[in-house]
Amino acid sequence: MYISPKQWEDFDQQGYVRLGQIATNKQLADMQQRIDDIMLGVAPIDYEQIMMQLDREPGTNQPGPQSHGHKGATLLYRKIQKLEYDPIFLNYMINPVFEEICRRTYGDNAPISCFRAMFMNKPAQEGTYLVWHQDRWSNLDRDPQITIYTALDPASIENGCVHIIPRSHRQLVNPSHGSGFLTEAHIEEIVSQADPLPLELAAGEVVLLHNWTLHSSGINQTQTPRRAFSICYMHGDTKTQSGGVYPRIFGEGALTVEQFKTS
- The reported pTM is 0.95
DSSP code string of 108-135: TT--EEEEEEEEEEE-TT----EEEE--
Please report the pLDDT score of residue 263 as a whole number. Answer: 35
Please report the pLDDT score of residue 1 as a whole number. Answer: 79
Q: With contact defined as beta carbons under 8 Å apart, do 34 and 229 qualify?
A: no
* b/e code 131-155 from CB counts within 10 Å (16+ = b): ebbbbbbeebeebbbbbbbbbbbbb
3-state secondary structure of 244: coil
Closest CA to 129 of 197, 57, 52, 61: 61
Task: Spell out the residues 6+ positions from residue 80 whose beta carbon is closer than 8 angstroms to its own.
Answer: 35, 38, 39, 50, 51, 52, 53, 118, 119, 121
In this structure, are strands 16-21 and 51-54 parallel, antiparallel, or unpaired?
unpaired
**How far is Cα 144 from Cα 213, in angstroms, rounded to an integer?**
12
The predicted-structure confidence for 213-243, as pLDDT tens digits, reads as follows: 999 999 999 999 999 999 999 999 999 988 8
The CATH number of 5-56+73-241 is 2.60.120.620
Closest CA to 120 of 92, 90, 87, 148: 148
**How far is Cα 48 from Cα 52, in angstroms, rounded to an integer?**
10
* Residues lower than pLDDT 70 in the chain: 262-263
Please report the pLDDT score of residue 12 as a whole number. Answer: 98
Element (H, E) at 105: helix 96-106
